[in-house]
Copies of this chain bind each other. A is one copy, B any other.
Amino acid sequence: MSRASDRAYSAIRNMILSGELPAGAQLGEEALAELCGVSRTPVREALRRLEADMLVDRTDTQRTFVADWSISDVADAFELRAMLEARAARRAAERMTDATLARIKAANRALLDAIQQPLPDVAGFLESNREFHGIILEVAGSRRLSALLGTLVEQPVVLRTARHYTREELRRSHAEHEELTAAFARRDGAWAEAIMTSHILRAYHAYADAHRARLDAGLTQEAAE
């Protein structure tokens, strides 16, 4: 990650995910180059990668903007993610080894630790959650599946919403992970697939509810951050 184009990619990506670069903002290559302390060449490369990630949009005349995720875009992404992660879970269950099962259990223990802090450690939760899902994807053993899911997991608004998860919601995630672990222990692909589908779709509705609540409170998305 020391190449200039990688630094530019991470920097711009983080600014988009954090909301520092708001949806709809124009991304001029020169301006970004200055921000990242590199020349336009690596910035251009970074922008193309972000375009493939669908984090930025380009107009017909080659101007680049921060992608504006409508609520239906988010729903679309979650629906596809549910299908793909469920497939990954099924494959993982069918190929599960005891060693991998131990890693999965460890990840979910770490996740529980993060939740049980006096103040829930959301960053730690997200990290363990990423680890948990990452192991499953690894065991599923499909490069393509991993690649496809790559563009679906990180969504700007959703990530920011995660910070507001209640302890109850975090606990629910942990419980679902435990159930997934049980399905893996039994090598039951159909069960794992079903739990994963419901796990992702529940997360989607948690987000959608929070989103609606903010709208009802008469706040704009910006103000709610």
A interface residue numbers (CB < 8 A to B): 41, 44-45, 48-49, 52, 54, 73, 76-77, 80, 83-84, 87, 142-145, 147-148, 151-152
Q: How far is the CB of A7 from chain B (nearest CB, A)?
A: 16
Name the B residues within 8 Å of A44 (CB-CB): 45
Q: Which of B54, B87, B143, B145 contacts A147 (CB 8 A)?
A: B54
A185 to chain B, nearest CB (A): 25
Which residues on the B side are within 8 Å of A76 (C-beta)?
A: 142-145
Complex CA–CA separation, A44 to B145 (angstroms): 25
CB-based nearest B residue for A148: B148
- Please report the C-alpha to C-alpha distance between residue A143 and residue B116 in the assembled complex, in whole angstroms: 39
Closest to A149 in B: B148
Task: Output the least CB separation between A136 and chain B (Å).
Answer: 16
Whether B80 and A148, one on each chain, are in contact in the complex, defined by CB atoms closer than 8 angstroms, is yes
> Which B residues touch A54, using CB under 8 A?
143-144, 147
- Give chain B nearest CB distance to A191 CB in angstroms: 19
A17 to chain B, nearest CB (A): 17
* A49 to chain B: closest residue by CB: B48
Beyond A52-B52, A77-B144, 15 additional contacts (C-beta under 8 Å) are: A44-B45, A49-B52, A54-B143, A54-B144, A73-B143, A76-B142, A76-B143, A76-B145, A80-B142, A80-B144, A80-B145, A83-B83, A83-B87, A144-B151, A148-B148
Within the complex, the shortest CB–CB distance from A39 to chain B, in Å, comes to 12
Whole-angstrom distance between the alpha carbons of A152 and B54 in the complex?
17
CA distance A143 to B79 in the complex (A): 13
A45, chain B: closest CB distance, angstroms: 7
Task: Please give, as numbers and ranges, the residues of chain B lying within 8 Å of A152 by CB-CB distance.
Answer: 144
